Amino acid sequence: MNRRTRLAVAATAVLLLAACAREEAKPLPLRPVLTAVVGAADGRAVQTYAGEVRSRIEQPLAFRIPGKIAERLVDAGAVVRPGQALARLDPVDAGLAAEAAEAQRRLADADLRRYRELREKNFVSQAAVDTRQTAFDAAAAQAGLARNQSAYTVLRAEQPGVVGQALAEVGQVVAAGQPVFRIARLDTPEVAIAVPEGRLAEVRRAAAVEVTLWAAPDRRYRGRLREVAAVADPASRTYAARVAIDDADARVGFGMSATVRFLADAAGEFLAIPAAALFQKDGRPAVWLVGADATVSLRPVEVARYGSDAVELASGLAAGERIVVAGVHKLAPGEKIRIAEAAAERTDRAGRAR
């Protein structure tokens, strides 16, 4: 290798070393972190529960006699009125039974008239007439019962409502009392929820109740705690409760998912943060506080109450301070971050349902 070649190799090595030094000196990009400014909430939210919209009155309808369904006149979802025919049984057997009972009644009637005529001529005793009178009364009652049984082949709605379920099909043989339809009243919508045993007192003390449909989150309905079960469910250890919707409109449909919020009397303001912002250090709750220079530090806090999606703080933070609300387990004390605002949401609304 001549001298010129050696000089070229040495220059190339120097350039490579300089490039590597520049790469090592290049700072790492800052981690983007979702943050929000802590604000005060109104202090009225007590508890939030998810539930299902149902009717207060859900009536199963069944035939009063057994038979084979010959016709079903409505389907699930149909709106019905009182007295409307919903289904029919095969009427042949019931009709024959009614005719037979009526024939027995006519025979007993003719027999009674004949014995009365004989009694007027003193050919039979009064006891014989009384016996025929009893037989006629029994035959007349049996004929009336047979007529009623024949009318029971038509199943009619007892109240206005909507058909929630159709439980039998044409051609199916049903027993007396076997449900064929389930009718729900349209004017008694309510939300079925399950309340943990530790929250019963707060639910009963609530000053107001709000209901929000998942399908229409922009509309809030006025609710009312109507009923709480006296016995807890043995599996979930929760109490079944019903919240009536007092100002329901056409958007409220049975089977919809809903959120129920129980509100207490306003008792000042508190600080509420998203549950995802809470961090555990040495078994105690803390949050990542973002400083003016975009560095993070841990701040211990005291939790007053845990909610489903927010945490109410008793102390540790002040309104206006910025905290990390996502990715808290990936940070280290003193780390510098790139601040990203929570989209369309601040922690002053963390305790409110959307």
- Max avg pLDDT among 13-17, 27-31, 226-230, 317-321: 226-230
Instruction: Indicate whether 9 belongs to any domain.
Output: no
Instruction: Report the pLDDT value the prediction gives residue 15, as an integer from 0 to 100.
Output: 63
Residue 204 has pLDDT above 60, yes or no: yes
Asked whether residue 198 falls in the same domain as residue 52, the answer is: yes
Instruction: Report the pLDDT value the prediction gives residue 212, as an integer from 0 to 100.
Output: 93
- Residues in a beta bridge with 59: 183
Q: Do 33 and 328 meet the contact criterion of CB atoms below 8 Å apart? A: no
* Alpha-carbon separation of residue 124 from 111, 121, 134, 213 (angstroms): 13, 8, 16, 80
Asked whether residue 199 falls in the same domain as residue 305, the answer is: no
Instruction: Indicate whether 100 belongs to any domain.
Output: yes
Question: 3-state DSSP call for residue 10?
Answer: helix
pLDDT band at 350 (very low <50, low <70, confident <90, very high): very low
- The 3-class SS string of 288-317 reads EEECCCCEEEEEECEEEEECCCEEEEEECC
- Nearest CA among 280, 351, 353 for reference residue 313: 351
Asked whether residue 157 falls in the same domain as residue 64, the answer is: yes
Asked whether residue 276 falls in the same domain as residue 135, the answer is: no
Asked whether residue 250 falls in the same domain as residue 308, the answer is: no
Q: Could you give the angle at which helices 126-151 and 92-120 cross, rounded to 10 degrees?
A: 160
Asked whether residue 68 falls in the same domain as residue 173, the answer is: yes
Instruction: Report the pLDDT value the prediction gives residue 8, as an integer from 0 to 100.
Output: 58
Residue 290 has pLDDT above 50, yes or no: yes
Domain boundary among 246, 263, 280: 263
Asked whether residue 207 falls in the same domain as residue 229, the answer is: yes
Mean pLDDT score, 70-79 = 92
CATH classification of the domain holding 224: 2.40.30.170
Instruction: Indicate whether 15 belongs to any domain.
Output: no
Residue 271 has pLDDT above 80, yes or no: no
CATH classification of the domain holding 98: 1.10.287
Domain boundary among 135, 165, 184: 184
Instruction: Report the pLDDT value the prediction gives residue 198, as an integer from 0 to 100.
Output: 83
Residue 239 has pLDDT above 90, yes or no: yes
Q: Do 156 and 84 meet the contact criterion of CB atoms below 8 Å apart? A: yes
Strands 337-341 vs 31-37: parallel, antiparallel or unpaired: parallel
Residue 22 has pLDDT above 60, yes or no: no
Number of structural domains the chain divides into: 4
pLDDT band at 345 (very low <50, low <70, confident <90, very high): very low
Among 12-21, 127-136, 139-148, 170-179, which is the least confidently predicted range? 12-21
Encode pLDDT of 84-111 as tens digits: 999 999 999 999 999 999 999 999 999 9
Question: 3-state DSSP call for residue 170?
Answer: coil
Instruction: Indicate whether 5 belongs to any domain.
Output: no
Percent of the chain topping pLDDT 90: 47
Asked whether residue 69 falls in the same domain as residue 176, the answer is: yes
Instruction: Indicate whether 10 belongs to any domain.
Output: no
Instruction: Indicate whether 1 belongs to any domain.
Output: no
Instruction: Indicate whether 23 belongs to any domain.
Output: no
Asked whether residue 291 falls in the same domain as residue 249, the answer is: no
Residues spanned by the domain of 255:
48-56+188-263
* Alpha-carbon separation of residue 252 from 160, 193, 225 (angstroms): 17, 16, 17
Instruction: Indicate whether 282 belongs to any domain.
Output: yes
- Max avg pLDDT among 137-141, 183-187, 286-290: 137-141
- Taking the CB of residue 310, how many other CB atoms lie within 10 A of it? 23
Mean pLDDT score across all residues of the chain: 84
Asked whether residue 235 falls in the same domain as residue 310, the answer is: no
Q: What is the dihedral of CA 215, 220, 224, 227, to 10 degrees?
A: 20
Instruction: Report the pLDDT value the prediction gives residue 333, as an integer from 0 to 100.
Output: 86
The predicted model scores a pTM of: 0.56
- Nearest CA among 205, 239, 243, 192 for reference residue 221: 243
Compute the distance between CA of residue 288 and CA of residue 270 in angstroms, rounded to an integer: 19
Asked whether residue 258 falls in the same domain as residue 317, the answer is: no
Asked whether residue 75 falls in the same domain as residue 157, the answer is: yes
Domain boundary among 263, 290, 317: 263
Instruction: Report the pLDDT value the prediction gives residue 107, as an integer from 0 to 100.
Output: 95
Compute the distance between CA of residue 337 and CA of residue 36 in angstroms, rounded to an integer: 14
Q: What is the dihedral of CA 137, 138, 141, 143, to 10 degrees?
A: -110
Residue 324 has pLDDT above 60, yes or no: yes
